[in-house]
Homo-oligomer: A and B are copies of this chain.
Amino acid sequence: MVKRYLDLTPLANIPGVLASSFALHPATVRVPLPEAVDLVTATPIFARFSQPEVHLAAMDGIAVRAAETIGADEQHPLTLPHAVRVNTGNVLPEGYDAVIMIEEVWQDGERYKIRRPVSPWQHVRPVGEDIGVTEMVVPSRHRIRAHEIGALAAFGIRDVEVLTVRVGIVPTGSELVPFGQDPGPGQVVESNSLMAAAFVEAQGARCTRYPRVPDDPSLIREALVRAVRENDLAIVSAGSSAGTRDYTASVIAEVGEVLFHGVAMKPGKPVILGRVQGKPVIGLPGYPLSALTVLREIAAPLLGLWGLPLPEEECLEARVTRSIASEPGITEFVLSAVARVGDRWVAEPLSRGAGVQMAAVRANAFLRIDPAAEGVEAGSPVIARLMVPRAEAEQALLLTGSHDPALDHLADLVRPSVDLHAAPAGSLAGLLALGRGECHAAPMHLLGPDGTYNTWYLDRYLPGTDVDLVCVAGREQGVVSRDGLDLADIPSHRFVNRQKGSGTRMLLDHLLAEKGISPASLPGYDRELTTHLAVALAVKSGEADCGICVYSAAKALGLAFVPVGQERYELAVRREHMADARVRALVGAIRSPAFRDRLAAMGGYDTALTGVQRGSP
């Protein structure tokens, strides 16, 4: 056994550790008012002058002395010899105390007539109506809203003292290339510091990204000391794990102290919190989703203690579509796609790989699994924390089932009114999810024993449920390879398969059975991938020699493709959901000329039936 994490700190202890370990003196910076939107005031702001500073006309009309209007009535219009024409905002002349709207005045040459008397101060904006000099406009720790810029400017404010936290980020890692360069083999773009900077800046911090440092303890130490000196908070990106080149913890211990190494949460477990010169240092794990979790669960509360709180996520209760295993004692965060299906919310957990950044791109919410729980059962209620405004979550349309690259294009075409989430679960799993009311539509391509596509399976798995099928396209499946292999070549080559229940795997089994080939004889039959492009990539990279996928995936990677047959790729939708605005928008997108153009550009699709709708048997 080599290096190990130190004992894990429970996530619940973090706020206490943060609050007690640092004397956080808020940093402030003075910014010109127009740049202060969304920033947080460091001090209360007081009006520098009254608004208005003198009595003003509040209407277009005439300024009068109210006492001189007494006696006017419908029968006895009164001429006002001293009336003065004023526009809204004009200074009320000395001695005048009311304004009569121009609509209520009859002009007679140079003179004005009225038909009823007015009270003093009618239609006058008195001194200080809006605010009086010295009054507090906004308190300290107030996040300035866009519309408040006008009021502050009107009250004489030119610049504002706002809270900030200076954050210095040091990216480490010999395998990194800087943003803007393309990585060579084995290299990656240094992207975590960009994410961290965007994250903390959105909260109001000011960020310095230092040049990346190779995996060399003395260089890391030098960079860390500088970042601590020049900032309130230093973040060292990567090197926090237990690899042979993870120096962050030892470097922090050299120049300061490690408060904890390892938090009982996933992702984000290998995080380090240190203290150097009394200032906090965060050792950010290298996996992007670990880093994101640490930013949200540790960096954000720390910035909150400095006066830059992140608004709490909005929550809603949803039914989780799949069971989630979790380790007791560990708080697990699960990125999810939530959508309102019928009258309830469902949460579809996304990939939990800490390196799968697309999960955070696709997610509109996340779940927090309690450390006391051992996971969550499929179908149980969970609290989903929204990562988008609630109105956007309401637009989510959840497709669970077979995957096709064309779904990405539909996701694009239904924007901005619909936010399409496609979960690549395979046709059969999608069908079952549709049966449980856990998705809006199930993309499927299942060849029944009777030779029909999809209807046999609907009949068998959702008997008695009214389901409509909307055809996306006829599409060609085939053998993908680097050198033009066909079905007969498969048994003698390394193969990659699709997951159980996927239409493509069932198609393969059907073809193998036809040819009398035993699945067990295929090397790689048990290697399961979940999308067409993943299969093509495995072939492209040399991991395997062949697989089954749609033409567009093979074409995208420039691979050979030998067709094995055309199938009917359809969306199954419960009839009761056909009227849902999101589903209607999706069907509209499928039927749009733009979608046909996209299918033609991708290749391998037959659009003769695209958009055709049929009822379940």
Residues of A within 8 A of B (CB): 1-4, 33-34, 37-38, 44, 48-55, 58, 60, 85, 87-91, 102-103, 105-107, 120-121, 125-142, 145-154, 156, 158, 173, 175, 179-180, 182-183, 185-186, 188-192, 194-199, 201-202, 241-246, 286-288, 291-292, 295, 307, 309, 311-312, 314, 353, 355-358, 360-361, 387-392, 405, 408-409, 411-412, 415-416, 420, 527, 529, 531, 533-534, 536-538, 540-541, 543, 556-557
Contacts and interface: CB of A to CB of B under 8 A. Distances in A.
B102 A3 contact: yes
A105 B1 CA distance: 6
Contacts of A139: 408, 411-412, 415, 420
Nearest to A35: B198
Contacts of A291: 150
A249 to B, nearest CB: 13
B412 A140 contact: yes
14 contacts: A1-B102, A2-B102, A49-B182, A90-B186, A127-B538, A127-B540, A129-B356, A132-B534, A133-B537, A133-B556, A136-B408, A147-B295, A150-B195, A153-B194
A191 B150 contact: yes
Count identical subunits in the complex.
2
A120 B497 CA distance: 14
Given A89-B173, A153-B179, A311-B389, 15 more contacts: A44-B409, A50-B537, A58-B355, A87-B241, A87-B246, A128-B534, A130-B358, A145-B388, A149-B191, A149-B194, A151-B191, A153-B195, A154-B189, A154-B288, A158-B179
Contacts of A533: 128, 132, 134-135
A523 to B, nearest CB: 11
A128 B537 contact: yes
Contacts of A412: 44, 136, 139-140
Interface of A is mostly: loop
Contacts of A105: 1-2
A416 B141 contact: yes
Given A55-B543, A245-B87, A182 B156 contact: yes
A196 B312 CA distance: 28
A272 to B, nearest CB: 15
Contacts of A188: 51-52, 89, 154
Contacts of A180: 158
Given A107-B2, A311-B391, A391-B311, A356 B130 contact: yes
B149 A1 contact: no
A244 B150 contact: no
Contacts of A90: 175, 186
Contact of A537 (B2, B4, B127, B415): B127
A95 to B, nearest CB: 10
Contacts of A186: 54, 90-91
Contact of A153 (B191, B292, B390, B409): B191
A106 B543 contact: no
In this complex, the member of A149, A150, A415 whose beta carbon has the largest number of chain B beta carbons within 10 angstroms is: A150
A199 B87 contact: no
A63 to B, nearest CB: 13
A540 B138 CA distance: 24
B153 A189 contact: yes
A158 B179 CA distance: 7
Top 9 nearest A-B pairs by Cβ distance? Answer: A150-B195, A87-B243, A153-B191, A151-B357, A136-B408, A141-B415, A128-B537, A139-B412, A60-B243
Contact of A358 (B102, B131, B158, B420): B131
B140 A89 contact: no
A556 B132 CA distance: 10
Contacts of A153: 179, 189-191, 194-195
Q: Which of A129, A314, A387, A557 has the most CB of B within 10 A?
A: A129
B102 A54 contact: no
Contacts of A91: 185-186
Contacts of A242: 60, 102
Contacts of A191: 149-154
Contacts of A51: 188, 357
